[in-house]
Amino acid sequence: MLEMFIAAELAKVKSTVPTVKGFDRDFPSLAFSIATGVGKTRLMGAIIAYLYLKKGIKHFFVLAPNLTLYEKLIKDFGDETYSKYVFKGISEFVGKPPRIVTGENYQDRSGNLFSDVEINIFNISKFNTENKTTKKGGAAVAPRMRRLSEYLGQSYFDYLASLRDLVILMDEAHRYHGDASKKAINELRPVLGLEMTATPFDEKGRAFKNIVFEYNLAEALDDGLYVKNPAIAKARNFNKDNYTPDEIEIIKLEDGITCHERTRLAIEMYARQNGLPVVKPFILVACRDINHAKEVEELLQSDRIYNGVYRGKVLRIDSSSKKR
C-alpha cells in the first residue's frame, strides 16, 4: 500500500517537475536547493503561511541541524518583535500568531492556545536523543518523547504521528539522511516533507532525487541581489609555471595567512577604539582529501610557514578525526 501511494504521489510531482526521480522517504518530500544566505528561513515561513491560508494546514514540524540554528528558528518564527520575524505583515497572524512548541516546552505545551497554527521546532540531535530507548538498572526506559503526557493524553511523538495534516520542514536537509534520523522522521507519518539545503547530497555523496527548485550560489552571485560577492586576493604578474607545486602550496598558505593577520589587527584596533570585545578570526583551508589535509597540517605546523608561528594552532577536521 505504501509503495503504491508513494508511486502515485511521485507521478503527480513528475507531471510538473519531470527531473524528480524519487522521494527517498516514506512520504512525499520535495527539496529546494538554495544557496546559503538567500533566505531559506523566509521561504519556510512563506510556505507555512501559504499552506495554512490556502490549504488549511495547521500543524508543522521544523527540524534544525544544530543548537545555534534551532535557537535562531525559534526567534524567526516566534518573536513578533524581531526584525527578521517571518510572519510580519500577515494579517491572519496578528493577535493570534502561530503557537511555537519547542524541545524545551513540548511536555507542558505552554504558549498561545488561541492560535490555529502550531509550529513544532526541534534540534535534530535532541529529536534523535529523546527518541532513543535507554536503560536504567538493566531495564529499558521509554524515550522521553514517547512517554505519556498528561496534557496530551498520549505521548508527544504519538500526538505528532496522529496528526492528519502534519507537514515537516527540514532546514539543512542533507543532515537528516542518516539511518536514525530518517527512521524517526518516517515514523511521524507526515503528509508532506519540504527540504531546504544549499548542498543537496546525502551522507554518502549521492545527489538528492527530489529537487523541485534550484537557485545555486553562481546564480545568486550573477543576480547580485542576495549574497555578497566574495573578495579574492591575488598576486600581480604571478605565473604558476615559475614555481613547483610545493612552492605554490606555501605561497597560497602564506598569502592567506597574511590576509588573516591584517584582518586580526584591524579587528583588535576596532575593538579597542570602541570598547568592544575582540572577535577572534580564523582561517579555513579546503583540502582535496584526507592525505592532503594531513600534509597541509604538517606544513602549517612547520618552520616553513611563518617560522612556525602557527605550531599548535592548527586543527584538522575530516572523517578520520571525529574524536579529536
Domain range for residue 11?
2-223
Same domain, 84 and 152: yes
Amino acid 109: pLDDT: 60
Same domain, 68 and 148: yes
Same domain, 244 and 217: no
Q: Residue 42 domain-assigned?
A: yes
Helix (H/G/I), strand (E/B), else coil: 262: helix
User: Picking from 61-65, 200-204, 240-244, which range would have the lowest pLDDT averaged per residue?
Assistant: 200-204
| Tens-place pLDDT, residues 33-55 | 998 888 899 999 999 999 999 99
Q: Residue 231 domain-assigned?
A: no
Single-letter code of the amino acid located at 68: T
Q: Does position 268 have pLDDT exceeding 90, yes or no?
A: yes
User: Picking from 39-43, 104-108, 213-217, 276-280, which range would have the lowest pLDDT averaged per residue?
Assistant: 104-108
Q: Residue 316 domain-assigned?
A: no
Report the CATH number that the domain containing residue 41 is assigned in CATH: 3.40.50.300
**pLDDT band for position 324 (50/70/90)?**
very low
The alpha helices in 114-196, defined as continuous H runs, are: 124-129, 156-162, 179-187
Amino acid 205: pLDDT: 81
Single-letter code of the amino acid located at 49: A
| Tens-place pLDDT, residues 173-196 | 888 877 677 888 888 999 999 999
Same domain, 180 and 281: no
Which has more confidence, 140 or 205?
205
Q: What is the mean pLDDT of residues 119-125?
A: 90
Same domain, 51 and 136: yes
Distances (CA, A) of 148 to 119, 140, 145, 308: 21, 16, 8, 59
**pLDDT band for position 15 (50/70/90)?**
very high
Distances (CA, A) of 314 to 17, 126, 215, 286, 290: 46, 30, 35, 13, 15
Q: Residue 233 domain-assigned?
A: no
Q: Residue 315 domain-assigned?
A: no
Q: What is the mean pLDDT of residues 129-153?
A: 70
Q: How far apart are CA 135 and CA 221, in angstroms?
A: 52
Same domain, 171 and 304: no
Same domain, 297 and 215: no
Same domain, 47 and 99: yes
| Cβ-Cβ contacts under 8 Å for 293 (sequence gap 6 or more) | 287, 316, 318
Q: Does position 150 have pLDDT exceeding 70, yes or no?
A: no
Same domain, 40 and 136: yes
Same domain, 202 and 262: no
What burial letters (b/e) apply to 246-277, b meaning 16+ CB within 10 Å? eeebeeebeeebeeeeeeeeeeeeeeeeeeee
Same domain, 101 and 135: yes
**pLDDT band for position 117 (50/70/90)?**
very high
What predicted TM-score, i.e. pTM, was given to this entire model?
Answer: 0.73
Amino acid 267: pLDDT: 93
Q: What is the mean pLDDT of residues 258-270?
A: 91
Amino acid 54: pLDDT: 95
Q: Residue 232 domain-assigned?
A: no
**pLDDT band for position 201 (50/70/90)?**
confident
Q: Residue 320 domain-assigned?
A: no
| Tens-place pLDDT, residues 301-314 | 999 988 888 899 99
Same domain, 46 and 192: yes
Amino acid 3: pLDDT: 86
Range ranked top by mean pLDDT from 50-59, 105-114, 151-160: 50-59
What is the chain's mean pLDDT, rounded?
A: 86
Q: What is the mean pLDDT of residues 4-27?
A: 91
Tell me the percentage of the chain whose pLDDT exceeds 90. 42
